[in-house]
């Protein structure tokens, strides 16, 4: 039985499901602040396997997010939003004390429909993409994955141990408290986490000052500089402004050479379709060589935004997706490029915010560029559906309740319903993610990584009438930059998206959910358990 507290009223807003929760447009001069680089915590500089202890306070503070705004009150980790980039070496065990020092009152009003029984301010941190054990979901002192109901209140800490036994990749940490994730992340609770290894170093990629994170978030800014958030549970939060690394519409001065960018969509609901445009003549800027995605390096770079190919794909990132990208500015000294977002082209329904940030290419390099842009990386063994012992379906659907309210569901179940999926440790399974709705839902699963097999159009009306999936077209293989290891996949409307994954190496309790945070908060999230083998 679903909880009435998490319903939202269609009567209050006839298009509530798809409505933008934007504030009024803000009139701010763009590209006046330089891109900040979040503080780095270099645990990989420590010798040995650990465990290394780190305390990260979660608190409220003020920050200058635009030159012409008064200081903005926000939430963050270790005094900043985004929080510090935590860097570790593969195999180095890290134990983080996520110390809740948040105030008693939330930064944003309690949304209509929120669960009034729980404390209004509660937090729990999840390291997105990390493989951790999670065998006791009631013990916040051993809450490695950040169980959504195992939140802390001010003065308490969550202790999470990360074995980091994963190849080099970009992870990110963010709040995951059930019913609160959207509001807490919109307040600023997100940050990057990088695993490094010897293979990554052997690639001789641009590094140091030439390896830059771009954490893209949508914010709703009021004229006085304060932040706001959607007032109804269920309204996707699109905001009215774009921040990169916490600054609104920043610029970055680059040298005419190669750079490595770790681009992460930390937005609640907004997807981006990005390319570079010359600000003078609107010609296409340098190509993106995407060398990695959610789960580390691709086998070969995907060339996006190739200026010589008008049909070249742009970089699409749904919430929580990551792209590791090399951009070579060496032929573009003196030029300025806009990182342009054309999300409408990728089926987004919200009001588009077409500008993200600027890259200003300087006249010369400060030292010769000796870094590499690899044409090939380690091969990735494609998983075979014939090796799957179980095939499951996850139906993305909505339910109209007797009182007329609508709830988004997976398999018609809510967060509180008992666990259904109990894959056996070590088993390989195919999951068919069938979207009966009219918008894209980015699916994320904890504890494992997967490969995307294909997407295939199906007859939604026939499915709703009979419960059977009839395909209407041949399966479509994923794009090249979706051929690596993933932990988020765009589940497109009217399509079945098939993924394959091996449930290892740890048993425990985990969750899968839509990564539109307002959907996750209103029950597009389910628990599952990886059970030890017989």
Stretch that binds Cu ion, among 250-258, 301-309, 416-424, 436-444 (CB under 5 A): 436-444
Which is closer to Cu ion, CB of 17 or CB of 192? 17
410 or 452, CB closer to Cu ion?
410
Task: Give the interface segment with Cu ion, choosing from 135-143, 198-206, 300-308, 434-442 (CB under 5 A).
Answer: 434-442
The residue range among 128-136, 218-226, 502-510, 519-527 that interacts with Cu ion, by the rule CB under 5 A, is 519-527
The pair of three-digit structure tokens given for residue 402, joined into one six-digit string: 């007797």
Distance set, CA 342 to CA 24, 35, 259, 271, 494 (Å) = 20, 21, 23, 10, 22
> Could you tell me the smallest distance in angstroms from the CB atom of residue 519 to Cu ion?
3
516 binds Cu ion (CB under 5 A): yes
- By the 8 A CB rule, do 397 and 437 touch? yes
- Please identify, among the stretches 288-296, 308-316, 449-457, 516-524, the one whose residues bind Cu ion according to the rule CB under 5 A: 516-524
**Burial (CB count within 10 angstroms: exposed 0-12, middle 13-18, buried 19+), residue 202:** exposed
Quick one: 88 or 516, whose CB is closer to Cu ion? 516
Q: Which is nearer to Cu ion, 18 or 471 (CB)?
A: 18
How many residues contact Cu ion, by CB under 5 A?
4
Torsion from C-alpha of 310, 311, 314, 318, nearest 10 degrees:
150
3-state helix, strand, coil in the chain (%, to 5): 10, 40, 50
Whether residue 230 contacts residue 21, with contact meaning beta carbons closer than 8 Å, is answered with yes
Could you say whether residue 444 binds Cu ion (CB under 5 A)?
no
Which of 96-104, 198-206, 253-261, 437-445 is the region at the interface with Cu ion (rule: CB under 5 A)? 437-445
In the complex, the smallest distance separating the C-beta of residue 408 from Cu ion, rounded to whole angstroms, is: 6
Region near Cu ion per CB under 5 A, out of 23-31, 42-50, 215-223, 440-448: 440-448
Q: For Cu ion, which is the closer residue by CB, 76 or 442? A: 442
Residue 494 CB, shortest distance to Cu ion, in Å, is 15
Candidate segments 30-38, 116-124, 474-482, 515-523, binder of Cu ion by CB under 5 A = 515-523
- Does 522 engage in binding with Cu ion (CB under 5 A)? no
Least distance in angstroms from the C-beta of 524 to Cu ion: 5
Pick between residue 92 and residue 405 the one whose CB is nearest to Cu ion.
405
Q: Length of the chain in residues, anyone?
A: 534
Which of the residues 327 through 386 are near Cu ion (CB under 5 A)? none
Of 28 and 407, which CB lies nearer to Cu ion in the complex structure? 407
| Of 271, 183, 218, 242, nearest in space to 518 by CA | 183
Tokens of 210: 């030439």
Which residues touch 98 (CB under 8 Å, ≥6 apart)? 56, 58, 77, 123, 124, 125, 152, 157, 158, 159, 160
| Residue placing its CB nearer to Cu ion in the complex, 384 or 398 | 398
Residue 410 vs 430, nearer CB to Cu ion = 410
Rule CB under 5 A: say whether 519 interacts with Cu ion: yes
Looking up tokens 């993200």 gives 356
User: In terms of DSSP H, where are the helices of 88-224?
Assistant: 181-187, 198-202
Secondary structure of 67-110 in HEC code, one letter for each residue: CCCCCEEEEEECCECCEEEEEEECCCCEEEEEEECCCCCCCCCC
- Encode 238-255: b = buried (16+ Cβ within 10 Å), e = exposed: bbbbbbbbbbbbbbbebb
Among 262, 335, 441, 456, binds Cu ion (CB under 5 A): 441
Q: What's the angle, vertex CA 183, arms to CA 179 and CA 184, rounded to 5?
A: 95
| CB of 518 vs Cu ion, minimal distance in Å | 8
Which residues, including other chains, have CB under 8 Å from residue 405's CB and lie 6 or more apart?
7, 8, 9, 10
Q: For residues 485-514, which are near Cu ion according to CB under 5 A?
A: 514
CB of 441 to Cu ion, least distance (A): 3
Comparison of 372 and 398: residue with beta carbon closer to Cu ion: 398
Mapped onto helix, strand or coil, the DSSP state of residue 528 is strand
Min separation Cβ 516 and Cu ion, Å: 4
What residues are paired with 152 via a beta bridge? 123
With respect to Cu ion, which residue has the nearer C-beta, 257 or 515?
A: 515
Q: Which of 302, 321, 323 is nearest to 313 (CA)?
A: 302
Smallest separation (angstroms) from Cu ion to the CB of 100: 27
Residue 366 has which token pair?
Answer: 């400060």
Q: Is 526 in the site for Cu ion (CB under 5 A)?
A: no
Q: Which two tokens stand for residue 379?
A: 């091969």
Q: By CB under 5 A, what part of segment 136-195 binds Cu ion?
A: none
Which stretch in 59-67, 131-139, 435-443, 476-484 sits in contact with Cu ion by CB under 5 A?
435-443
What residue ranges bind Cu ion (CB under 5 A)? 441, 514, 516, 519
């Amino acid at each position: 039985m679903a909880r009435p507290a998490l319903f939202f009223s269609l009567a209050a807003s006839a298009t509530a499901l798809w409505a933008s929760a934007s504030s009024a447009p803000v009139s701010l001069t763009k590209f006046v602040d330089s891109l900040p680089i979040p503080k780095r915590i270099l645990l990989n500089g420590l010798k040995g396997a650990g465990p290394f202890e780190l305390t990260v306070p979660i608190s409220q503070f003020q920050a200058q997010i635009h030159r012409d705004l008064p200081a903005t009150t926000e939430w963050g980790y270790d005094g900043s939003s985004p929080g510090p980039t935590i860097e570790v070496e593969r195999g180095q065990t890290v134990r983080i004390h996520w110390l809740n020092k948040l105030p008693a009152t939330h930064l944003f009003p309690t949304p209509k429909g929120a669960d009034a029984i729980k404390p209004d301010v509660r937090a729990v941190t999840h390291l997105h993409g990390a493989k951790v054990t999670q065998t006791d979901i009631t013990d916040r002192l051993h809450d490695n994955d950040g169980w959504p109901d195992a939140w802390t209140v001010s003065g308490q800490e969550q202790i999470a141990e990360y074995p980091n036994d994963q190849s080099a990749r970009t992870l990110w940490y963010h709040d995951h408290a059930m019913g609160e994730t959207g509001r807490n992340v919109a307040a600023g609770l997100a940050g990057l986490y990088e695993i490094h290894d010897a293979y990554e170093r052997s690639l001789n990629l641009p590094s140091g000052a030439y390896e830059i994170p771009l954490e893209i978030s949508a914010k709703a800014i009021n004229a006085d500089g304060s932040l706001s958030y959607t007032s109804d549970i269920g309204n996707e939060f699109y905001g009215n402004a774009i921040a990169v690394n916490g600054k609104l519409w920043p610029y970055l001065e680059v040298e005419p050479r190669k750079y490595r960018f770790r681009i992460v969509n930390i937005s609640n609901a907004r997807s981006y379709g990005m390319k570079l445009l010359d600000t003078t003549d609107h010609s296409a800027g340098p190509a993106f060589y995407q060398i990695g995605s959610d789960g580390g390096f691709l086998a070969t770079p995907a060339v996006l935004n190739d200026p010589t190919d008008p049909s070249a794909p742009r970089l699409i990132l749904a919430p929580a997706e990551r792209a590791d990208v090399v951009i070579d500015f060496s032929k573009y000294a003196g030029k300025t490029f806009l990182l342009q977002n054309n999300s409408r082209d990728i089926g987004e329904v919200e009001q588009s915010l077409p500008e993200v940030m600027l890259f200003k290419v300087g006249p010369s390099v400060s030292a010769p560029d000796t870094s590499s842009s690899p044409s090939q990386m380690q091969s990735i063994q494609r998983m075979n559906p014939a090796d799957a012992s179980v095939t499951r379906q996850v139906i993305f659907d909505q339910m109209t309740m007797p009182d007329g309210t609508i709830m988004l569901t997976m398999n018609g179940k809510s967060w509180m319903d008992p666990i259904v999926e109990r894959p056996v440790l070590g088993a390989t399974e195919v999951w068919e993610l069938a979207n009966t709705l009219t918008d894209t839902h980015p699916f994320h699963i904890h504890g494992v990584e997967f490969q995307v097999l294909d997407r295939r159009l199906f007859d939604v009306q026939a499915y709703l009438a009979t419960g059977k999936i009839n395909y209407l077209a041949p399966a479509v293989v994923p794009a090249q930059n979706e051929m690596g290891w993933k932990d988020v996949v765009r589940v497109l409307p009217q399509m079945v998206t098939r993924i394959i994954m091996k449930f290892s190496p740890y048993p425990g309790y985990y969750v899968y959910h839509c990564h539109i945070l307002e959907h996750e908060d209103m029950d597009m999230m389910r628990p599952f358990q990886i059970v030890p083998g017989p």
